[in-house]
Structure 1
Amino acid sequence: MEHNDFGTDEFIAFCRLIGAEPLIAANTGFGDSYSAAQWVEYTNGDASSTIGGGWRAANGSQEPYGVKYWCVGNEMWGNWQLGHMQLHHYVLKHNEFADAMRSADPGLVLIASGDLERVNHDTDPAQSKSGMPWTEGMLRNSAKHMDFISEHFYVGRTPWSETGRVPVSEHMESMRNAIRVKAEGHRALQPRLDHLGGRFIPIAMTEWNYWHREYRYGELGCIYDLADGLGVAAGLHEFYRHTDLIEMALYAQTVNVIGAIKTTRIAAELETTGLALSMYRRHFGTRPVSVQGDFGSVDVSAALTRNKDALTIAVINPGDSEVRVRPDLAAFRIVGDASRWHFGGPDALAHNLPGKERAVDMVHTGGLSVADGLIVPGLSAAIFVLPLSQE
């Protein structure tokens, strides 16, 4: 039962506390466009000239929150969603919502609900007859009413599959492949939609993760082991390769269920997936660098830091043995020693539990020379930070 004690004001306070940009999803199922516009007004409206802004001020926040990013519905292509409807009806509802929300704040960035391959044969006779997937229908009928189109995916031992455990390299590839399918599908689809006029609507991957059916933490709460952490790191690498199209990727979820943090009544702990997200967020660069060449079984990605004062190279090693990677760094003036952050564990099944000593953790090693290559322990993901000359 959702007690709704954590509402809009608490969510904004939480986002500010952790330094995150808020994103809110409007209810396009049983909700209505007027209510969605009022919600926008509550977060962004002037306290003295709008009803919603006045409500916010009465609740203690005089200044608008300035929530920029809004999902217009969530997974409305799924028959499990309250208010699910046929595609040719839903595009009308999406457009109505978008217009109402933008009337409350023209500066919103709106994310439409998409699914690249979804055709609802059982619930949508018209879509079944046409064979037009949901995302294409949204792009054909609602392109002027969106800034992003969302996509979701989950891989692993999902409840709706019979997939069992596979080698770590194959486990990583399933994550990379799911991302490639979405990216390549949009690269093929959008250019043939003449009404877009050359415009490319970027993807917001608003849900992505492994999902395993072996539940340990109540309903839907699974354990994430080292193989999953390495797979999430591989997913980040694949996202970096498609930053021209995938401009937003939001791991689902944060706490418990299939989250990166698991809790008990007295303890909390980062899953291996949380370690991957944390390590890359803290230590990997923000300006992707093209990586070419064959590195065998390891997955290599690179990026410059925001100020271009360091080159960061991330290497994922799915094998049991240490590897030495020798990238060509002639184009960069490296000065001083390098450092390495990595996480790994004794085997692919290693995982962390709340209140217990970590079996998988981040380790920092400084004072490294890259002259003889980058050494990556077995079953680990590593980020090397190489300081660069600013001259």
Structure 2
Amino acid sequence: MYDVEVGLDPAFTVGTVDPRLFGTFVEHMGRCVYGGIFEPDHPTADEHGFRGDVAELVRELGATVVRYPGGNFVSGYRWEDGVGPVAERPRRLDLAWRSFEPNTVGVDEFCRWARGVGIDPILAVNLGTRGVDAAVDLLEYANFAPGTTSTADRRVANGHKDPHAIRTWCLGNEMDGPWQIGHKTADEYGRLAAETARAMRRADPDIELVACGSSNSAMPTFGTWERVVLEHTYDLVDHVSLHAYYEPVGGDVDSFLASSEDMRAMITAIAATADHVGAVRRSDKRLTISFDEWNVWYQHRFAGQEGLERTENGALIEDVYDVTDAVVVGDLLMALLDHCDRVAIACQAQLVNVIGPILTRPGGPAWRQTIFHPFALTARHARGTVLRTAVRTAPLATERFGDVPATRVTAVQDPVTGALTLLATNRSRTEPARLTVDLRAFGHRRLLEHLTIADDDPSATNTAEQPDRVVPRPATGTVLDGDQTLTATLPPSSWHLIRLGD
């Protein structure tokens, strides 16, 4: 067993958590939409064809925003195909995932579903095969009041009088990637993004815009891409995006458990890049980051886009997650919170079936994957102000990152109730940690709960037959000594939520 000592003081803060940090992502890919959120023949389907059992789990998950409709899909998408009478909508070939898109679900249906489950949509526009005109038309269709333009009146004629009131818009998706339909150089994309942003802001000055950043930290253009793009767009956008997916490459589980070190480094590097562009421009503006695709994804199991057969609504990258994956997801959430001064938006990708926290069976049940639980608990309780933590812990040797902290600890205080939430990850696969937290600066406290995700079998998963094999469980032996010190034991490969009240 090794010791972990944590110092905290409510006077020393990182920043306030933007609720959009707890976002999710729905793309027209595999069974995320059709067979995921939407299945008209399902016993729980509502009058619009959306699964009621999935909607209940989405509400429980606690996501605040949802990015739509992609993803790679958006770079070849004609949004007009997905509005109007369903029977008249064209069936198209989606070049991104080599599937046939029926366009049964489009912007109107999706926005109605999202708001129905308590989530605000974030829309992405196609800057792969399209550009300024299509983006502004979609903005008018979604946000303009009846009678203002013929495009807004088209929405009304389609049965949606009230505007969808979309606040946040993504200017394309992963345009740095050669796999992207309409892939561009940084200069090419930056100029198009600036032209599109300028036009969209003239149409609706109150929107927020996200410029495409790097698809992952291994991209050869990482950093340079952001610099060039922001030289074109800095004064026109509010956020720059980042994407990252993690897996145990070559079976290297120790590095996998430390995946958030890469995420933390990405955030720091791109924040510095954005600040450099701002400094050169003599600007007082401070851009933030939209980490709008992140998750565990076993990409080595995926043959790639070129190997896909043409299908309609076929299963695609439906990874089944275990305990170790849940610990990594919890740790990634902590990294986002620890950088809440620069990360305003984050979207776990994706929501259902496609590397999702929710899995479904056609005509059958829907259930929570292991990664569902750290997201739901963090979204529910980690609201408010992130505090700076001084953590003394043993090092963990990893092949990819060198020596890293064996334990990470994040603290969030609710400014209204005063409740203090501690999140902790023990990354060691062999050694438990003895956690000691100094709480003298917080006055009277009482222990509300200590929940943990851990298992003697770190490969344990949830299935339709055993949907609750892995769930958060109350920890034992956690003690609050007066108002001074909290002590707890963190088992190997575990994630924890500890709540303290007044």
Give the TM interval when normalised to the shorter protein. 0.7 to 0.9
Out of 347, 361, 386, which is 1:288 matched to?
A: 386
Among 137, 140, 158, which residue is 2:228 paired with?
A: 137
Deviation at 1:373, TM superposition (A): 1.1
Which of the numbers 184, 192, 200 marks the counterpart of 2:286? 200
* Correspondence 1:41-80 to 2 at 5 A: 41-80=140-179
Q: Which residue of 2 aligns with 1:125?
A: none
Aligned residue for 1:123? Answer: none
State the match for 2:94 in structure 1: none
Matches within 5 A, 1:312-327: 312-318=421-427, 319=429, 322-327=432-437
Alpha-carbon distance in structure 2 between the residues aligned to 1:367 and 1:28: 54
What CA deviation, in whole Å up to 9, does each residue of 1:13-52 have, x standing for no partner?
2221222221000001112311111111111101112222
Q: CA deviation at 1:197?
A: 2.3
Choose from 241, 261, 264 the match for 1:150. Answer: 241
Partner Cα separation in structure 1 for residue 223 and residue 457 of structure 2: 44
> How far apart in 2 are the matches of 1:132 and 1:20?
32
Q: Render the CA deviation track for 1:109-129: whole Å, top value 9, x for unaligned.
A: 000011177456xxxxxxxxx
Shift of 1:191: 3.6
Aligned to 2:74: none
> Residues 58 and 90 of structure 1: is their aligned pair in 2 closer, same or farther, counting only changes over 3 Å?
same
Post-superposition shift, 1:352?
Answer: 1.2
Alpha-carbon offset, residue 172 of structure 1: 2.1
Matched, 1:172 2:257: yes
Name which of structure 1's ranges 133-142 and 108-117 shifts more when overlaid on structure 2. Answer: 108-117
The verdict on how the C-alpha distance between 1:221 and 1:251 changes in structure 2, with shifts beyond 3 A counting, is same
Tell me if structure 2 keeps the 8 A contact 1:117–1:134.
no
Which residue of 2 is the match for residue 214 of structure 1? 301
Evaluate the alpha carbon distance shift between residue 205 and residue 326 of structure 1 in structure 2; reply closer, same or farther with a 3 A threshold. Answer: same
CA contact (8 A) 1:27 1:72 kept: yes
| Within-5 A mapping of 1:101-116 | 101-115=200-214
Q: Is the 8 Å Cα contact of residues 26 and 70 (structure 1) preserved in structure 2?
A: yes
Q: Which runs of 5+ in 1 are unaligned?
A: 121-130, 158-162
| C-alpha contact (below 8 Å) 1:155/1:209 kept by paired residues | yes
Aligned to 1:124: none
Once the two structures are superposed, residues 190-225 of structure 1 have per-residue CA deviations (whole angstroms, 9 ceiling, x without a partner) of 343301524331111111112103369933222221
**Aligned residues of 1:41 and 1:104 also touching (Cα < 8 A):** yes
CA–CA distance in 1 between the matches of 2:142 and 2:239?
A: 21
SS in structure 1 of the partner of residue 152 of structure 2: helix
Report % sequence identity: 27
Q: 1:32 aligns with which of 131, 137, 145?
A: 131
Higher strand share: 2
> How many residues in Structure 1 have an aligned counterpart in Structure 2?
371
Once residues 457 and 223 of structure 2 are traced to their aligned partners in structure 1, the CA distance between those partners, rounded to angstroms, is 44
1:254 — aligned with what? 351
- The one of 268, 293, 300 aligned to 1:184: 268
CA distance in 1 between partners of 2:414 and 2:390 (Å)? 19
Alignment of 1:212-251 (within 5 A): 212=298, 213-214=300-301, 218-251=315-348
Q: List runs of 5+ in structure 2 lacking aligned partners.
A: 1-99, 304-313, 395-405
Indicate yes or no: 2:408 matched with 1:310: no
Equivalents in 2 of 1:141, 1:59: separation in Å? 37
Query: Could you tell me which residue of structure 2 aligns to residue 347 of structure 1?
Result: 457
Report the CA distance shift for 1:49/1:179 in structure 2 as closer, same or farther (over 3 A): same
Secondary structure of the residue aligned to 1:325 is strand
Q: CA deviation at 1:59?
A: 2.1
Q: Distance in 2 between matches of 1:103 and 1:207?
A: 28
> In the aligned structure 1, how far is the partner of 2:393 from the partner of 2:105?
47
* Alpha carbons 1:15, 1:21 under 8 Å: kept: yes
TM-score by length of 2: 0.69
SS at match of 2:473: strand
CA distance in 1, matches of 2:494, 2:416: 28
Q: Aligned in 2, Cα 1:142/1:113: closer, same or farther, shift over 3 Å?
A: same
Distance 2:270 2:366 in 1: 39
Paired residues of 1:118 and 1:134 also in contact (CA < 8 A):
no
Q: Report which structure shows greater RCO (CA 8 Å, sep ≥6).
A: 2
Cα gap change, 1:10/1:320 in structure 2, threshold over 3 Å: closer, same or farther?
Answer: farther
In structure 2, relative to structure 1, the CA distance for the partners of 1:224 and 1:215 (3 Å cut) is farther
User: How far off is 1:62 after superposition?
Assistant: 1.6
Q: TM-score, normalised by structure 1?
A: 0.87
Q: What is the distance in 2 between the residues matched to 1:152 and 1:52? A: 33
